[in-house]
Each structure stands twice: as structure tokens, then as C-alpha cells.
Amino acid sequence: MSIAAGMDHDLYPYRGVPGRAAIEWPGGAKVAFAPVVYLEHWPYEATPGGYADPRFRDPYGAFQPDYRGHTWREYGNRIGIFRLFEVLDRFGLTATLAANASAAKRYPVIIDEALRRGWEIAAHGDVADAMVTSEMSADQEADLIALCLASLEGDTGARPKGWIAQDFGESTRSVDLLAKAGIEWIAHWPNDDQPYWMASAPPIVSVPQLSELDDAECLWHRRVPTPRWPGMLEEAISVMAGESGRVAVIGIHPWIFGMPHRIRYLGEGLRRVAEIDGVWSTCVGQIAAHYRSKQAAEGAL
């Protein structure tokens, strides 16, 4: 029995890295670097019908209301994110703010601070304990997408062009529903080092994340000691810059890296990246837009 090279789904085609042309980033950069800061609302009473990432939610339901989960995240929205603003400002970085629709309504001062800095706003579901899953009907999912986009447009003054799924959760229908809703890019498939087209109608760009360097994945779930993170980030960006045409999107949670015992290591990691030659520091939407324009110019769109 022979097995043809390819995926076990038709969301995008398989294409291994050998033979690909290197992507040319602005200014001759070798790697595009973009931080994603998450603005999330974790309700202390579970969202009815919601499905939370089981790595975060108490699996036995013993803690209801969930003040522990709520207050951890609330620290990030009250204290931690302002530390992140200061560190990112120090290095002249413009981030992507992945915002829950309900969080944007609850924390307008954070939205104002992000917009004042020229950050872009990406849609990130409604609440942090309600991932998109295939248990939802198509109508439920379409309604959720429409609610999030309309809500964020009202609270930020612009309709988001990007979607970063809550905890990377989605259904088999998500890509097509997002495309039909006008989304131009997504950034929750950690399956590559270069952007690529999703097989949707119309096609949208997937900008991969380096998910293992996301602070929740690396420091919280895998319990890597925080002082190791700057070196890991530097190593990753150095390798990718040497390969050329790569993209490094890094997720940052205010309730994790915004803690007083961790914030210095975020700054240390960003300092090391700034010292690497050939890095284009930008936001995710600019990476997607550049890729889209290059593909159009080459007749691949």
C-alpha cells in the first residue's frame, strides 16, 4: 500500500521545506519577528456551554466560582500588561494584541493604550474559557465569529483582519467560516516556519507561531525555568535567521510574563533578538500583508 504525500485533511496542501523559495522580507531581513500579547477575560463563573482548555480549568469542578483562575488572569490585566507595554516600548516593538471580545469591553484602558502605541488588534474569541470546538454547530460558530468581530469593531474603531483562536481551538469548519467573515489571516497553526495559504474561499494566510516559546506553553505547562527563556528565544531566532525567509511569532501572556519575577527575562530575550542581524520586528498583520502582496506579485494568489 502506497501513501501519497499529503495531509489527512484538505485545509491546506502539504509542502515540505526543500525546494521552497526563501521569502524576501523588507530591508533584506532574514526573519520576521512579531510578539503577540493576549488580552483575555477568564470569568470566575464558568461560561454556560463553554469548553475551557483542560490544562487550565479545574477538571473536577471543585472550585466554583473559579476565583483562582480568574484572579491569576486579572493580575495580568491590572498590573502585568502595563509592565509588558513598558518593556516593548523600550525596544520599539509594535505588538499584536489578541483580544477576547468580552475583555475589550471590560478593559477599555488597555485597548486605548495598545492603539495609542500603534498596536494592531486581532480577534481572540469571546471569553477565555470558551474555545471553539467541533461540538459547536456551524450556526453557533458563525454567530460567535460575527459577535466577536462586530464587538471588537465597536470597541476599537476597526474591524479585525486577523483571528488567533482561543487556546488554538477550532472546528473543521473554522477556516472557511473565518474567510467568509472577512478574516484575512490566522495565527494559531504552529506547523511551519513560513506563512502559507489556507485552502479557504477566499484564501486566507496562516502565519505560524513558535508555540513552544509561548510563555504559557514553555513556562507554565512545561515548567521550563524562566531564566532559560531568553537563551531559547535567541537560539531560535539565530537559527531561523541563518535559514532565511522565516517567521517567528511569540505569544506573551500578561499574567505570566507580567509577573515581577519574570519581566526582566522578557526584556533580556528581546534585547538578545535586537542584537541579531537580519530581524524584521513587526506585527502579525504586516507579515500576512507582505506575504499576500509578494504572492500576488508572483502570480501565486
Lookup: cell for 70: 480568574
Q: 213-246 pLDDT, tens per residue? A: 999 999 988 999 999 999 999 999 999 999 979 9
Count other C-beta atoms under 10 Å from residue 121's C-beta.
25
Asked if the peptide bond before residue 195 counts as cis, ω within 30 degrees of 0, the response is no
3-class DSSP state of 185? strand
- What percent of the chain lies above the pLDDT cut of 90? 70
**C-alpha cell of residue 88:** 516593548
Contact criterion met (CB below 8 Å) for 207 and 284 = yes
Distance from C-alpha of 246 to C-alpha of 167, rounded to nearest angstrom: 23
Which fold would CATH assign to domain 26-297? TIM Barrel (3.20.20)
Can you give the residue ranges of every domain in the chain?
26-297
Residue ranges in 107-253 assigned as alpha helix (H): 108-116, 138-156, 174-180, 215, 229-243
Mean pLDDT for the stretch of residues 275-299: 89
233 Cβ contact partners less than 8 Å away, ≥ 6 residues apart: 213, 250, 269, 272, 273
Region 181-202: mean pLDDT is 94
Grade residue 19 by pLDDT with cuts at 50, 70 and 90. Answer: confident
